[in-house]
């Protein structure tokens, strides 16, 4: 995922996004998806809520979060060990794109949410790239 075409592909998934669907999916699959996936989701979620983030770029975030929610993505989530690989790649692609807008406060809120779900977490788990 490195170009405008990839962004357009992600944006089509934005119709699958809602706050309720995101919260439900996170509660159901957090342990299975893993810390990195959940952390990337929260980074994007809190960046999306930030009023300082450019509105025109929010569709890419909505697309990545919608892709995470969508149950029939490129690699089915139910496949052991591989199921969330495509989700993580899409999420990291978008996190890298918006990373200049990810404030220390967003990072801290995201880490706290991960710790709420997983308990104590090794700080190295928060390294996405």
CA distances (Å), origin 36, targets 39, 44, 107: 5, 12, 13
> Measured between alpha carbons, how far is 31 from 62 in angstroms, rounded to an integer?
22
* Average pLDDT value for residue range 43-67: 91
Which residues lie closer than 8 Å to 39 by C-beta, 6 or more apart? 110, 111, 114, 125, 126, 128
pLDDT tens-place string over residues 58-117: 999 999 999 888 876 555 555 555 567 778 888 999 999 999 999 999 999 999 999 999
Contact 84, 77 (CB under 8 A): yes
């Amino acid at each position: 995922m490195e170009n405008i075409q990839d962004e357009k592909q992600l944006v089509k998934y934005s119709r699958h996004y809602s706050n309720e669907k995101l919260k439900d999916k996170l509660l159901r699959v957090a342990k299975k998806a893993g810390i990195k996936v959940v952390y990337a989701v929260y980074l994007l979620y809190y960046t999306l809520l930030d009023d300082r983030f450019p509105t025109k770029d929010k569709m890419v975030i909505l697309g990545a979060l919608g892709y995470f929610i969508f149950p029939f993505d490129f690699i089915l989530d139910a496949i052991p060990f591989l199921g969330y690989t495509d989700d993580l790649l899409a999420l990291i692609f978008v996190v890298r794109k918006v990373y200049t807008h990810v404030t220390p406060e967003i990072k801290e809120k995201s880490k706290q949410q991960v710790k709420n779900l997983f308990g104590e977490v090794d700080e190295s788990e928060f390294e996405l790239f």
